[in-house]
Amino acid sequence: MGLQTKHIEDLKEALMCQQNNDHKVEDLVGKIVNDFQTYARKRSELSHRCCANYFAPSWNSPIENSMLWMGGCRPSSFIRLIYALCGSQAETLLTQNLLHIDENFDVNHGGFMSDLTATQLEKINELHMKVIKKEDKITKTSANFQDDVADMPIADVVVHGDAAVEDALDKHEEGMAVLLAEADKLRFETLRKIVEVMTPVQAAEFLLAGKRLHFSLHDRGRARADVCGGVGDDAV
């Protein structure tokens, strides 16, 4: 979360000064993408020890965990965010033109996502379709793992304390660790391909919006958890 905070500040600064230093924006975007790849690689290495922890991280609020897909966000949500940004910025620019407002670029009110070309949007749409298919494949495999839980020799522990139970749980976690790695790979590849389609400034805008959304959900989730604290325990 500390690294995410730094990324937000760096992106804001780079976008404010982008007209004088385009290379700085491009370098920063590349660094953030590399940081995500490093995070995914390290998580893959550690997940073989305690994979289940990554599907409901303790640093997340309950509402955040309820929104997770395979230990993170859906890669297709990256693309839906692009569509949302394009729509909101196009509406803002239209309003400014109708009212003859002349404003300098501000990362909070306008931007360059609305300048995506037809070719760029076509590539993003093609990527969207491919990502959804890969997501569905991973989701179905995960569902099969959950179905297999019913066949585990859990009942044996009551009578025999059978070690087969532990073996079955170990195999379940091993399978889920593989799926987590596949999901993280899809997240990274989707992010990398999106950045390749965009200009550096567009990519920086997209990354900034995504990180702000992440922090907004995190803060709101913590606030809701404080209000509802203890409800789950009392119910049990």
Angle (CA) 211-215-219 rounded to 5° is: 175
Give the pLDDT score at 236: 33
Using an 8 Å Cβ cutoff, are 202 and 115 in contact?
A: yes
**Residue indicated by tokens 């379940």:** 172
pLDDT tens, residue by residue, 119-165: 999 999 999 999 999 999 999 999 988 887 766 666 565 555 567 77
pLDDT band per the 50, 70, 90 thresholds, residue 79? very high
For residues 156 and 61, the model is more confident at 61
Confidence of residue 225 (pLDDT cuts 50, 70, 90): confident
73 touches 187 (CB < 8 A): yes
Q: How far apart are CA 107 and CA 16, in angstroms?
A: 7
Which pLDDT does position 183 carry in this prediction? 96
Least confident of 45-49, 115-119, 204-208: 45-49
What does pLDDT average to over the chain?
A: 82
CB contact set of 113 (below 8 Å; sequence gap of 6+): 82, 85, 86, 89, 202, 205, 206
Pure H helices in the chain: 2-16, 22-50, 62-66, 75-98, 118-149, 156-159, 164-197, 200-227, 231-235
pLDDT at 207: 95
Q: For residue 95, what pLDDT is reported?
A: 45
Name the pLDDT band for 27 (thresholds 50, 70, 90). very high
- The first and second tokens of residue 90, run together, are 């196009």
Q: What is the DSSP letter of 72?
A: B
Q: Which amino acid is present at 10?
A: D
Q: What is the DSSP letter of 199?
A: -
Count, residues in the chain:
236
Tokens of 150: 């019913």
Question: Is the pLDDT score of 47 beyond 90?
Answer: no
pLDDT of residue 232 exceeding 60: no
Q: Identify the band that residue 107 occupies on the pLDDT scale cut at 50, 70 and 90.
A: very low
